[in-house]
Structure 1
Amino acid sequence: MIIRNGDLNDVPAVLRMFDSAVEWLTAQGRTGQWGSEPFSASPARVEKVASWASSGGMRIAELDGEPAGCMVVGVPVDYVTPASEPELYIQGLVIDQRFHGRGVGSALLERAPAEAAEQGISLIRVDCYAGDDGRLVKYYESQGFTRTETFTVKEWPGQVLEMRLPAGTA
């Protein structure tokens, strides 16, 4: 697996990743996170992915030469309480469900501490959907994040999680 910087050429592949994730979640009856309509059918979501691709913070994991997952790092989102120190914020994470169970998400998340350390930052935060059975929150905890605050945006329950780098690594 390689992880590389993403750009506008990756927008179609990332939209396919989101579409596959929505289809997978919908098949499980878990539509609370992203609904049941494909991301690629929503102009606002297409625009969001394009803005991520232009931001310089998009990371693409490739497996067997194919885009398998995407993580976007950058500034914190406006619906969570700002941190009182510099941070690296994971704005998005998705994998193509064809690669489910192959460690793509974990590999992308392992890149975040290295990037934070390179920037002299010791705090990494992410937010995620906290509804249904809470499996997504548990996933981030299994990756070394700890829960901090909860929030709600338009009836969408969310959880902010953080990871602190050990002293001396940032």
Structure 2
Amino acid sequence: MEITIREGGPEDVPVILGMLDSCVQWLVAQGRTGQWGAKPLSQSSGTVESVTRYVDEGDTYIAEADGVPAATLTLTDAPGAYLSHLPPVGEPERYIHWLASDRRFKGHGVGSALLAHAAETTRRAGISLLRVDCYAGDDGKLVRYYESNGFARTETYVGTDDWPGQVLARRV
């Protein structure tokens, strides 16, 4: 399977929402609704607005597997407003939002390819800090996934409705 990465844009918002819905469906099938709930995220006006805003404000990338959109992430210069309580990092950074993959491509390395691309893009921009936050509940697999891609745990936080979160950072 050949993985290529292209820039995304507003026309990709439906594709990105489809990937998020695929993730929710996969999580629900495992009885893991703590991360994103049980309903398709494309039905949440808040999620649609968030994805659209980040695509408009940041740099969105789509990983394609043999030409089929398989995973996505968006890079911006700061974390989301929901993390405004964290201390500032005191240096330029790039921040990953909405990393998701169509679960049909689970295990094919599309997410890791995007994370490597984000690290390289950050480094080429002359920025040495790449951060992300994620769900830290259940079995902690998502946090370990980021660690396996070169990130280290920094701050923990509790989001809305006691949602357990973890911020991770990677030097590039």
What secondary structure does 1:58 align onto? strand
Identify which of 131, 135, 142 aligns with 1:129: 135
Report if the CA contact (8 A) 2:7-2:59 is conserved: yes
Percent of paired sites with the same residue: 55
Rounded Cα–Cα distance in structure 1 between residues aligned with 2:79 and 2:43: 26
Q: Which runs of 4+ in 1 moved over 6 A?
A: none
Rounded Cα–Cα distance in structure 1 between residues aligned with 2:49 and 2:155: 28
Report if the CA contact (8 A) 2:51-2:98 is conserved: no
The corresponding residue for 2:170 is 163
Report if the CA contact (8 A) 1:7-1:56 is conserved: no
Rounded Cα–Cα distance in structure 1 between residues aligned with 2:19 and 2:119: 23
Q: Per-residue deviation at 1:13? A: 0.8
Report if the CA contact (8 A) 2:129-2:171 is conserved: yes
List gaps (5 residues or longer) in structure 1: 166-170
Q: How many residues are aligned here? A: 165
Rounded Cα–Cα distance in structure 2 between residues aligned with 1:83 and 1:26: 35
Q: 1:96-117, CA deviations, whole angstroms, 9 ceiling, x for partnerless residues?
A: 0111110010000001121111
* TM-score of the aligned structures, taking structure 2 as reference length: 0.92
Give the 5 Å matches for 1:16-165: 16-74=18-76, 75-80=78-83, 81=86, 82-154=88-160, 155-165=162-172
Report if the CA contact (8 A) 1:19-1:38 is conserved: yes
What secondary structure does 2:82 align onto? coil
Q: Per-residue deviation at 1:77? A: 1.7
Rounded Cα–Cα distance in structure 2 between residues aligned with 1:105 and 1:164: 18
What secondary structure does 1:160 align onto? strand
Give the RMSD, CA atoms, in angstroms. Answer: 1.0
Q: 1:90-148, CA deviations, whole angstroms, 9 ceiling, x for partnerless residues?
A: 12200001111100100000011211112111111100000111110011001110001
Q: 1:3-51, CA deviations, whole angstroms, 9 ceiling, x for partnerless residues?
A: 1111111111111100000000010011000001001111111121222
Q: Per-residue deviation at 1:78? A: 2.4
* TM-score of the aligned structures, taking structure 1 as reference length: 0.93
